[in-house]
Amino acid sequence: MSHVFPRHTKSIPPRATRGDGCYLIDETGKRYFDGSGGAAVSCLGHSDPDVIAALQDQAGKLAFAHTGFFTSEPAEDLADLLIEHAPGALDRVYFVSGGSEAMESALKLARQYYLEIGEPQRRHVIARRQSYHGNTLGVLAVGGNMWRREPFSPLLMDVSHISPCYEYRGRAEGESAFDYGQRVANELEAEILRLGPDSVMAFVAEPVVGATAGAVPPVEGYFKRVREICDQYGVLLILDEVMCGMGRTGTLFACEQDGIAPDITAIAKGLGAGYQPIGAMLCTDKIYSAIENGSGFFQHGHTYIGHPVAAAAAHAVVTKLTGGGMAARAMDMGGRLQAALEDRFGQHPHIGDIRGRGLFRGLELVQNRETKAPFAPELKLHANVKAAAFQAGLICYPMGGTVDGIQGDHVLLAPPFILSDNQIGEVVDKLSGAIDTVLAGVPA
């Protein structure tokens, strides 16, 4: 028996021993197609020679130098590369070790920014009911995933939650997608006015929602209206691109496709592509210079900021995503995956929606396609689909999110960008087999 504290104590998973392109291999030699990149992490697959060479080379030169004493070349190079490709006025990069840390840093930076510019009364955060921003207590409070929040609710700060932009469930009959987007974006203005415009610090959102409801993209115009409202009331826009960023949706930053840029953004997952744990927060020069010209010190920090080996690996990753054309490939292969999913599930009686952007795709299971009625939560369909797919050698990321009392069974697909057309076929075949097996066991 191992002394590792596992995620699920009652069902210990197999031991992974090797990665090979899009596949993970367990100790029995069984191969699993990584159809979700873990959780939208492994964008370059599991055996990329360039990333491995970059991190090995850096480990041999300098593994660690604490940022209380030093900067390092890998961290500087990576920051420059990210800013070269970042949208809008993003200008500075603060490195951390993962997504929750990146989002915590974003919240604390927003707060400190307002202290530096003499607006200490700004403290309210507004987020959305369908969202996940990490598991540490600060960002757990910001997320709208009730199941994750519930046990820890007495420890969480107060955050306002407005409607998500979730067209499949939210758009009224006869309402255009654009009008729907404006309506839900305008909830932000209403909440700012309710709280008092001078008291609101930030609005937080995922451009394409990930871990609460498989790959839900916003409708056209939604984020433009959000940006307008934030600008009007001096509220910082924090975009959480931890899951949807780093080429996953076909552009390095997902928000590029919405024609807007944030004041602060968080990235992780695909940044290290699973080769190293690394995340980052990017902010505009306006925010950075408020600190530079004010206290001169961001009152935050973690031991592994700007870790040289992690930064060297991430530099190799981002080089492949940008100059190497891998983000563009995610756009192209994403279109093919969507077409293959529509082909297979477009008429399926229990698949209500097939959506997403790039290689970030989601399916929503419903009991009835016409009424969109979900299956009973007790059936735990999402968990059963995950298990059946895993058994068949496919890793996918199903989840059961509840928004406004509606329980949805979602399946998220986020495969490595290197996947081939044949492998798209493998994913669709195995997923379809898993869904049919599970549905066959559901009482009529």
> Which chain residues interact with ligand PMP by CB under 6 A?
39, 98-100, 103, 132-134, 206, 210-211, 240, 242-243, 268
Report helix angle 381-391 to 421-440, nearest 10: 130
Q: Tell the smallest beta-carbon distance from residue 325 to ligand PMP (Å).
A: 25
Reading the block at residue 209, the tokens are 């929602």
- The Cα 326–Cα 246 span in angstroms is 10
d(CA 261, CA 254): 10
Tokens 């499949």, residue located: 168
Q: Quick one: which H or E segment has residue 192?
A: helix 177-195
CB of 183 to ligand PMP, least distance (A): 24
Q: Which is nearer to ligand PMP, 135 or 368 (CB)?
A: 135
Q: Please identify, using beta-carbon distances, which residue of 355 and 430 lies nearer to ligand PMP.
A: 355
Q: Which is nearer to ligand PMP, 192 or 242 (CB)?
A: 242
The side-by-side arrangement of strands in the sheet containing 23-26 is 16-20, 23-26, 31-34, 394-395
- In this chain, which residue has its C-beta nearest to ligand PMP? 99
Nearer to ligand PMP, 33 or 132 (CB): 132
> Minimum distance from CB of 61 to ligand PMP (Å)?
27
Return the number of other C-beta atoms located less than 10 Å from residue 327's C-beta: 26
∠ Cα 373 378 381 (to 5°): 70
Q: Which of 24, 25, 28 is nearest to 36 (CA)?
A: 24
Q: How far is the CB of 100 from ligand PMP (least distance, A)?
A: 3
Report which DSSP code applies to 339.
H
Please identify, using beta-carbon distances, which residue of 72 and 145 lies nearer to ligand PMP.
145
* Residue owning tokens 């329980």: 407
Nearer to ligand PMP, 134 or 334 (CB): 134
Q: End-to-end CA distance of the chain, in Å?
A: 42
What is d(CA 329, CA 384) in angstroms, rounded to the nearest whole number? Answer: 31
Q: How far is the CB of 373 from ligand PMP (least distance, A)?
A: 27
Q: Shortest approach of ligand PMP to residue 152 CB, angstroms?
A: 15
State the nearest-atom distance from the C-beta of 206 to ligand PMP, in Å.
5
Residue closer to ligand PMP (CB basis): 98 or 144: 98
Q: What is the smallest separation between the CB atom of 210 and ligand PMP, expressed in angstroms? A: 4
User: What's the min distance (Å) between Cβ of 173 and ligand PMP?
Assistant: 31
Q: Which is nearer to ligand PMP, 108 or 336 (CB)?
A: 108
> What does DSSP assign to residue 375?
P
Which C-beta is closer to ligand PMP: that of 101 or that of 364?
Answer: 101
Phi, psi of 265 (to 5 degrees): -140, 155
Say how far apart CA 177 and CA 25 lie, in whole Å.
43
Contacts of 104 (CB under 8 A, 6+ apart): 134, 136, 138, 139, 300
Residue 266 CB contacts under 8 Å (≥ 6 apart), including other chains: 99, 102, 103, 105, 106, 238, 239, 240, 241, 242, 279, 280, 281, 282
We find the least distance from the C-beta atom of residue 397 to ligand PMP, in angstroms, to be 9
Cβ closer to ligand PMP: 100 or 423?
Answer: 100
